[in-house]
Structures are given as structure tokens and as C-alpha cells.
């Protein structure tokens, strides 16, 4: 108890710059960041900052307001001693970060004749890439926090999922780049050439200090299962397979319209049910909007509508963590062996009558998985 009490009272955390890598263009590979291990981390900050020249012959290039890094990278992954710790899309990470803080961190860009100086800030929060006239410079800046000490618990409980890499020899952040034709809004018809990049991704870590060598802080490895489900018809119930694991954290959902551009939308899903062993055991039965309302209240979200838009459009959460990870009443009912109690674990999503289906609408689903900590060295 003395160790826990000291950690709770002192909370000795030191920010550390772990490394950086360059973004050299849309569709181009992003080199991994190799890091020094041997420490305990409670969170990572991924910052994108820099500029590029955007040239186009006609039309108006457009981007969705889904973040800056999300335009360049499909996923972010952390490895320790070549073992996967977690993998998550930039927008998925931004959504969870948004819920943990109650508001969005800085994310925006501007276009003009000159770049924003390295010592200055991009002073807009538009969550997307913006261009000036053809041949001008687009400057970007974005910060995303990856919470490894679970943000929806008390500090003591949250330490159960921090990354304890004291016995690991190496760490590596990897970024899976998107293809060049995924760079702009789907259906965008303005051909664009991006060049002259001076843009970097920095990764900072918050290191937890003064933990005795013999004391095991981490009780679970926090990983994610991310998938996208396509909605192909209105007023239709679809089932989505979820993980069967001993402990499950929150389930985060983000829905996107089937209209041109595939923007986030609230009118894609109506009813939401979480089921174990089919309809024999209904674990949750609600509506998408009700879950969204509870999300706004429970996570104390400050996200007012501006010009009929807000960041939380299309977002909802099945909140299973509540206040405790070690005594999660929801997660503990699922087991990993298919022949023991839980043969199926599903999410049933019923589309609304007025969902737009010019193309398939979609729902991105992220499950938090709480597993045994990874083993390093002589653990």
C-alpha cells in the first residue's frame, strides 16, 4: 500500500521526447521511430507539425474534418521487443482522446503564400487540410494523446494498464501509410500535386518515475480491435462479431454516411444491441442517439454545434469500464474459449430508415481489450 500511496500522492511523471520521423508526401512510406525502452509510460503524445506545397490545376481540393495525421496514416502501432503492444487508427485515437479530455486537442491547418514559422502555431482548429491558391503553402499542426493509463478510471486504477517496459530492450512506433488516392475526400475530382514537404511526426512519452524495481504496476496490456462494418440497406439489422475475451473495456463507435464524401453522420444507426450467445443474453439494448447522449453527459463533453457541425457527430460509446478495470462487471462475463459459456459475442446494429446510401454507409468499431501484460526479459 505504501508504494500505491506514494504514486497517488506524488505522481512523479516526466515528459520525454522519444523520437521523430518525417512525412514526405501523400501515399509515401513513413519511417518507424525507434525508441529507448526500460521505462514505464502512462501516455504518448503524437504531434504533427510542418508544411507542404499544394498545387492543382482546377477545381477545389477538399478534405474531411477527420484530422491531419489521419490523411497520411492508416494506423499507428507500438512494438516492444518486436511484440505488438497496440495498433489504432489516428482518428480512432483522436476520438478516445477527445472523450478522455471532454474537448478536442489542437488540430488544424491553413494555406497561404508563406509557411507558419516553426516557432509559431497554426491558429485554426478545422481538423482538416486546407489549401490556399494553387502553388501556395499549407501549414499543419495536430496533437493526439494515446492514453495508456486508462483515462476513465481513478489514477490508482488507471495505472493497471500503463506500459511497463522496464525489462524490454527496444520500442518502435510504426505508421502504416495510406495510398495516395486515399489522401483527399472520397470522390474529390480536383487533381493535386503535393511537394516540398517539411513535416514531422514527434512522439513524446510521459514516464512514471520512482517505482521500485520489484513492484509490478501493470496488470493488463491495453490493446484494441478495430473494424469497419458496411451498412448496405436501410431499416436492416446487421450483426457484427466482437471479441470473446476475459476482459473487455469500452466499445467506441463512429458512423459515416453513404453520401458522397463519407462524412461522419448521426442518422446511420438507430438501434444498438450487444448480445452474448445470440439473443439468449442481451447485454445492452439501446439506441445510437441515447448512447451518444449518455456519452456527452458521462464524459462531460464540451462540443457545441458550430455551423451545424461538431466533432462528436457520428460518435457513441458502450461504456463498460465505468470506474474500475479490475472489477469490471461487464468484461468479466466473456471468456476466450468458445465452448465455455460464451459461444458468440455480437453487436447488432439496425440502420435507420433515412440513412443515405449513395454508396455504402459504414460504422467503425473499436473494442478495448484487456489482456495479460506482455512478458519481457526474465519476467
Domains of the chain, residue spans: 2-208, 221-371
pLDDT score at 95: 95
Q: What is the pLDDT of residues 93-119, one digit of tens each?
A: 999 999 999 888 999 999 999 999 989
Residue 290 has pLDDT above 80, yes or no: yes
Q: DSSP state, 157? A: H
Sheet containing strand 281-287, edge to edge, reads 237-241, 345-351, 269-276, 281-287
Contact 126, 65 (CB under 8 A): yes
Contact 104, 86 (CB under 8 A): no
Cell of 147: 492514453
Query: By percentage, how much of the chain surpasses pLDDT 70?
Result: 91
Q: How far apart are CA 98 and CA 104, in angstroms?
A: 5
Q: How far apart are CA 359 and CA 351, in angstroms?
A: 14
Q: How far apart are CA 84 and CA 173, in angstroms?
A: 10
Per CATH, the number for 2-208 is 2.70.9.30
Q: Which of 355, 315, 134 is nearest to 230 (CA)?
A: 355
Cell of 131: 489549401
Q: What is the pLDDT of residues 317-353, one digit of tens each?
A: 998 876 455 554 444 333 334 334 678 889 999 999 9
| Residue keyed to cell 483515462 | 151
Report the pLDDT averaged over residues 22-42.
95
Q: What is the pLDDT of residues 239-263, one digit of tens each?
A: 999 988 778 889 999 999 998 778 9
Confidence of residue 10 (pLDDT cuts 50, 70, 90): low
| Fold for the domain defined by 221-371 | Jelly Rolls (2.60.120)
Confidence of residue 269 (pLDDT cuts 50, 70, 90): very high
| Residue keyed to cell 518525417 | 22
Contact 267, 352 (CB under 8 A): yes
pLDDT score at 327: 52
pTM above 0.85, yes or no: yes
Amino acid at each position: 500500500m505504501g508504494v500505491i500511496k506514494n504514486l497517488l500522492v506524488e505522481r512523479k511523471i516526466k515528459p520525454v521526447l522519444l523520437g521523430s520521423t518525417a512525412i514526405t508526401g501523400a501515399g509515401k512510406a513513413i519511417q518507424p521511430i525507434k525508441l529507448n525502452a526500460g521505462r514505464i509510460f502512462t501516455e504518448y503524445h503524437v504531434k504533427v507539425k510542418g508544411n507542404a506545397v499544394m498545387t492543382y490545376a482546377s477545381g477545389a481540393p477538399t478534405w474531411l474534418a477527420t484530422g491531419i495525421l489521419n490523411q497520411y496514416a492508416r494506423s499507428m502501432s507500438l512494438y516492444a521487443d518486436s511484440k505488438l503492444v497496440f495498433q489504432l487508427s489516428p482518428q480512432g485515437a483522436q476520438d478516445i482522446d477527445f472523450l478522455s479530455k471532454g474537448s478536442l486537442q489542437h488540430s488544424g491547418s491553413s494555406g497561404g503564400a508563406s509557411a507558419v514559422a516553426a516557432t509559431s502555431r497554426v491558429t485554426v482548429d478545422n481538423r482538416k487540410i486546407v489549401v490556399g491558391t494553387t502553388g501556395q503553402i499549407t501549414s499543419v499542426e495536430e496533437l493526439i494523446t494515446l492514453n495508456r493509463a486508462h483515462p476513465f478510471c481513478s489514477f490508482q486504477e488507471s495505472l493497471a494498464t500503463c506500459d511497463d517496459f522496464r525489462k524490454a530492450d527496444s520500442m518502435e512506433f510504426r505508421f502504416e501509410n495510406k495510398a495516395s488516392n486515399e489522401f483527399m475526400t472520397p470522390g474529390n475530382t480536383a487533381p493535386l500535386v503535393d511537394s516540398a514537404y517539411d513535416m514531422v511526426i514527434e512522439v513524446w512519452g510521459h514516464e512514471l518515475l520512482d517505482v521500485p524495481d520489484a513492484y509490478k504496476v501493470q496488470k493488463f496490456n491495453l490493446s484494441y480491435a478495430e473494424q469497419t462494418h458496411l451498412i448496405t440497406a436501410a431499416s436492416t439489422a446487421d450483426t457484427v462479431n466482437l471479441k470473446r475475451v476475459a476482459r473487455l473495456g469500452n466499445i467506441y463507435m463512429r458512423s459515416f454516411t453513404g453520401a458522397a464524401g463519407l462524412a461522419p453522420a448521426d442518422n446511420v444507426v438507430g438501434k444498438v444491441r450487444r448480445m452474448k450467445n445470440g439473443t439468449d443474453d442481451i447485454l445492452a439494448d439501446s439506441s445510437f442517439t441515447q448512447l451518444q447522449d449518455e456519452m456527452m453527459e458521462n464524459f462531460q463533453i464540451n462540443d457545441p454545434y458550430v455551423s451545424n457541425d461538431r466533432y462528436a457527430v457520428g460518435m457513441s460509446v458502450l461504456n463498460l469500464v465505468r470506474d474500475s478495470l479490475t472489477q469490471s462487471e461487464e468484461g468479466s462475463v466473456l471468456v476466450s474459449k468458445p465452448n465455455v459459456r460464451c459461444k458468440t459475442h455480437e453487436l447488432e446494429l439496425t440502420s435507420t430508415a433515412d440513412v443515405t446510401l449513395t454508396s455504402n454507409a459504414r460504422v467503425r468499431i473499436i473494442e478495448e481489450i484487456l489482456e495479460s501484460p506482455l512478458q519481457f526479459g526474465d519476467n
